[in-house]
Structures are given as structure tokens and as C-alpha cells.
Amino acid sequence: MKFIFCLILGLSLTSQSQIRIASKGFNMNESDLRIIFKSAVTTLPKADNFKDPSLFVSKHQRGPITLFQRTPRGEVAIQLNSGDYYYSQCIYQFAHELAHVRADF
């Protein structure tokens, strides 16, 4: 199990996708959020020619949702509504929304 965690962590650190996180409201520190988001970006399949866009992840009561409107920085905005130390719910919501991004919404 430790090997698998280290492998996922190592792969996530080499991912090309940029993720900006507004950690307010998640009740988790940003470094933990970054690790779980990067692991989803790295492990979920995508088309060979697909380039992940930059992502902006925040907590919002209306989430989970991926917004069609890009941020002023050109990022795809993903809003999640988990955050009370529910890592499994947070990663599930993020991975689901990432699938929308990779399917071009």
C-alpha cells in the first residue's frame, strides 16, 4: 500500500496540469488538497492528444460543478461542496468534475 501511495504521489508531482486552489472553507490544508487533486489528474485516463487546461478549484455551496465560463486567468473553474475533512468525498467530486473537463463538458 505504501508503494502505491508513493507511486501515485510521484506521478502526481510530474503532472503538467496547473491547479490553483482556494482552500478557504475546505477545512483541509492546501498541500493535502493539491496532492489528492494532482493524483486524480495523473491517474484518470485521457485522450493522448488532450492537454489538461489550468484549473481553479474552490469550495462553493452550489457545487460540485464545472463552470463553462473561464476565470479571468483562463482557468477552468471547478467548485466542490465537500470540505469537512471528507477526503474521499472531495476526491470523488474532483475526479467527477475532471471527467467533465476531459470530455469537453
pLDDT in tens, the chain (105 residues): 566 555 555 554 445 579 999 999 888 889 999 999 999 999 988 888 889 999 999 999 888 999 989 999 999 999 999 867 678 899 999 999 999 999 887
Predicted pLDDT of residue 14: 47
DSSP three-state, residue 94: helix
pTM above 0.95, yes or no: no
Tell me the fold of 2-102: Chitobiase; domain 2 (3.30.379)
Q: Where are the beta strands (DSSP E) in 3-102?
A: 19-21, 55-59, 65-66, 76-80
pLDDT for 7 equals 54
Residue with cell 485516463: 45
What radius of gyration, in Å, describes the C-alpha atoms of the chain? 13
Contact 25, 59 (CB under 8 A): yes
